[in-house]
Structure 1
């Protein structure tokens, strides 16, 4: 799996609030262009985000499903974007105290055409995408997105 880690200027609880608000997903996940629906149980195991990937007019409607979760610490999803394929994504949060945490995203293709690309070529592309994803997630957490008033 390609893994990217970043130190955030935000406590893990604030980052988790962004993650658990499924409607914010397209604001921080690179490639997700819109959210069409969020299961009421998000982010519990088995719940889904119904999203679109790409840019208009070339949008693909699909979904991502939670396969494992430790609230506030870890979220694993199976992201779909057929006909491109499926990827397993693991997001982990490590609270460092005060207003800092460490966030990692590990991702790899598991099915479809993306899996046919050699890992040595696939990993650097995934890493670039996920570095930007982490930057967006941090900005949203620091800015208070997902806060429950």
Structure 2
């Protein structure tokens, strides 16, 4: 799996608030264009985000489901974007105290055409995308996304 890690200047609770609001997903996940629906149980195991990937008008409707979760610490997803395929994604948060948190995203293709791309080519592409995903996630958390007043 390709893994990217970043130190955030926000507490883990603020990061988790963004992650647990499924409607915010396209704001921080590179490639996600829009959310069509979010299961009421999100981000519980088995729940789904119904999203579109790509750029208008070339959008693909699919879903991402939760395969494992530890609230505030870990979210494991099966992200679908057929006909491109499916990927396993693991997001982990390590609270460092105060206003710091270490966030990692590990991802790899598990089914479909993406799995055929050699790992030596696949990993750098995933890493670049996930570095930007982490940047967006940190900015959204710092800006108060996901918090209710």
Same fold, TM exceeding 0.5? yes
Shift of 1:148: 2.1
Count of aligned positions: 149
**Cα deviation digits, residues 71-117 of structure 1 (max 9, x gap):** 00000000000000000000000000000000000000000000000
Structure 2 equivalent of residue 20 of structure 1: 20
- Helix, strand or coil: the match of 2:24? helix
Aligned residues: CA RMSD:
0.3
Q: TM-score, normalised by structure 1?
A: 1.00
Counterpart-to-counterpart distance in 1, 2:79 and 2:51: 10
Counterpart-to-counterpart distance in 2, 1:20 and 1:56: 26
Counterpart-to-counterpart distance in 2, 1:39 and 1:148: 19
Structure 1 equivalent of residue 35 of structure 2: 35
Q: TM-score, normalised by structure 2?
A: 1.00
Question: Structure 2: which 5+ residue stretches go unaligned?
Answer: none
Structure 1 equivalent of residue 10 of structure 2: 10
Q: Hey, which bits of structure 1, 4+ residues long, moved more than 2 A?
A: none
Question: Structure 1: which 5+ residue stretches go unaligned?
Answer: none
Matches for 1:1-149 after TM superposition, within 5 Å: 1-149=1-149
Counterpart-to-counterpart distance in 1, 2:86 and 2:70: 22
